[in-house]
Structure 1
Amino acid sequence: MAGSPVPRKTVRIGVMMDNVQLMDVMGIDLFGNLSREYLDMVKSEAPPELAPLLDGFDHHQVDMEFLYLAPTLEPTPVTVGLSYVPNMTYDDCPRDLDIILVGGPLLSHRPPQADKFMKEAWTKTRVWLTTCTGSVWLASTGLLDGKKCTTNRGFLATAKRIHPEIEWLDQRWVIEDKPYDGTDGKGELWTAGAAGAGLEMIAHYCLQNWDPTFVSTVSLYGVDMHPEGSRGQFYSP
């Protein structure tokens, strides 16, 4: 008698977006486009000419859960006058997520709940991604000391001044190892420059970690992104 099917793993993604530049966290949509929920929705209403592109990807769908974090569950501001309703506080959020994305707030935004969360989740969550000044926010915990990182190019001089213990690189994004207590791979730290570089960084992360044909067809095609033609990790000379 055949055994029971192995349950699919749900990828849990924590998004630190309180008081950040909205564009910094838009890469979550590239993740979301890979989800079972999104693909089922698109397939249900796809025009006839699009349907053939989506055939055969059912076994690639990813079960995902997004945790939108803030110090409280009250409506919380981001830029352009927008507020979101968090579905998890920093205090209550599990520390052992799969991915944490840190957007870039002003340098004065340092809620103690976020500081505690980052310190406690650092070795329990395998993959950390930052965009813009999100790396400076994470650096304020001391967790990035001795690592190679980047941030918004306009903030590099400031980052070097206030966190000289970090090796700040003038790159679009930087990939480093990080401590990780789990057994399902090595810890990864991806830090990006400004929001555009962050979006491309997340596209490259997705291409490396899921089937690239699935990622290109279902996530990137619909938003007209072509990472293969991008500048990659480095700024043009």
Structure 2
Amino acid sequence: MSTNNTQPPLRVGVMFEDVQYADLACVDILGNLSTKIASGFSSFGAAFDHFIPQSRPMEFLYVSSTLDPACMIPGIRALPTHTYDTAPRNLDLLVIGGTSPKGHPESSLKYLREAVRETRVVIGVCTGGLWLAAAGVLEDKKATTNRIALRVAREMYPSVEWVDQR
């Protein structure tokens, strides 16, 4: 069964510091569409053959303040592959999980300001939108966040048009 190995890898950056572990479930789902994982489906037989040609090579980059184990809520630790200073800015997708709305490292805010300009798609999951707002990249734009955090978002970042839509 042939795969889509002729395409360049889809480069997916994941902000990986003090974020909710559950907010990164989308990364796991996306990873299941990668050529590496889809090619393993062939062992299940013909029922899964349609996944392989639709797959794409993917590279996942996990970004944090340091290369030391990063903590995710509720205490899960994992190894980042890049720091905010070394991570590429020109990604295909950047995923920002939910975190506390206060206290983001300045290096992460600088990274977001730079990466948002060059990255094709940026997704803030849950309160990840507040991290983007803290970086100043949502000013005068429509955005949303966790519904419970909308009131706080509007108070903290009034220049963002916070909407209660899905």
TM tier relative to shorter chain: over 0.9
Aligned match of 2:81 = 87
Q: Deviations over 1:59-98 (max 9, x none)?
A: 2211000001101000011112211110111110111010
Aligned match of 2:64 = 70
Aligned match of 2:139 = 145
Paired amino acid for 2:10: V
In structure 2, C-alpha distance between the alignment counterparts of 1:76 and 1:140, rounded to whole Å? 21
Report whether the alignment pairs 1:115 with 2:85: no
CA drift of 1:40 comes to 1.6
Report whether the alignment pairs 1:157 with 2:151: yes
Larger radius of gyration: 1
In structure 2, C-alpha distance between the alignment counterparts of 1:158 and 1:72, rounded to whole Å? 29
CA drift of 1:7 comes to 3.5
CA drift of 1:56 comes to 3.6
Q: Which runs of 5+ in 1 are unaligned?
A: 1-5, 173-237
CA drift of 1:142 comes to 1.2
Whether the aligned pair in 1 keeps the contact of 2:41 and 2:49 (CA below 8 Å) is no
1:168 to 152, 162, 165: 162
CA drift of 1:108 comes to 2.2
Aligned match of 2:40 = 41
Paired amino acid for 1:42: F
Whether the aligned pair in 1 keeps the contact of 2:85 and 2:111 (CA below 8 Å) is yes
In structure 2, C-alpha distance between the alignment counterparts of 1:167 and 1:57, rounded to whole Å? 39
Q: Which runs of 5+ in 2 are unaligned?
A: none
- Trace 1:205-220 onto structure 2 (pairs within 5 A): none
In structure 2, C-alpha distance between the alignment counterparts of 1:113 and 1:159, rounded to whole Å? 21
Whether the aligned pair in 2 keeps the contact of 1:96 and 1:124 (CA below 8 Å) is yes
Tell which deviates more after alignment, 106-115 or 68-77.
Answer: 106-115
Aligned match of 1:102 = 96
Q: Deviations over 1:162-221 (max 9, x none)?
A: 11111111123xxxxxxxxxxxxxxxxxxxxxxxxxxxxxxxxxxxxxxxxxxxxxxxxx
TM-score (norm 1): 0.66
In structure 2, C-alpha distance between the alignment counterparts of 1:161 and 1:116, rounded to whole Å? 22
CA drift of 1:128 comes to 0.3
Aligned match of 1:24 = 23
Aligned residues: 162
Whether the aligned pair in 2 keeps the contact of 1:70 and 1:86 (CA below 8 Å) is yes
Paired amino acid for 2:53: H
Structure 1 residues 8 and 67, CA, compared in 2 at 3 Å: closer, same or farther?
same
In structure 2, C-alpha distance between the alignment counterparts of 1:168 and 1:76, rounded to whole Å? 30
In structure 1, C-alpha distance between the alignment counterparts of 2:132 and 2:117, rounded to whole Å? 13
Aligned match of 1:15 = 14
CA drift of 1:9 comes to 1.6
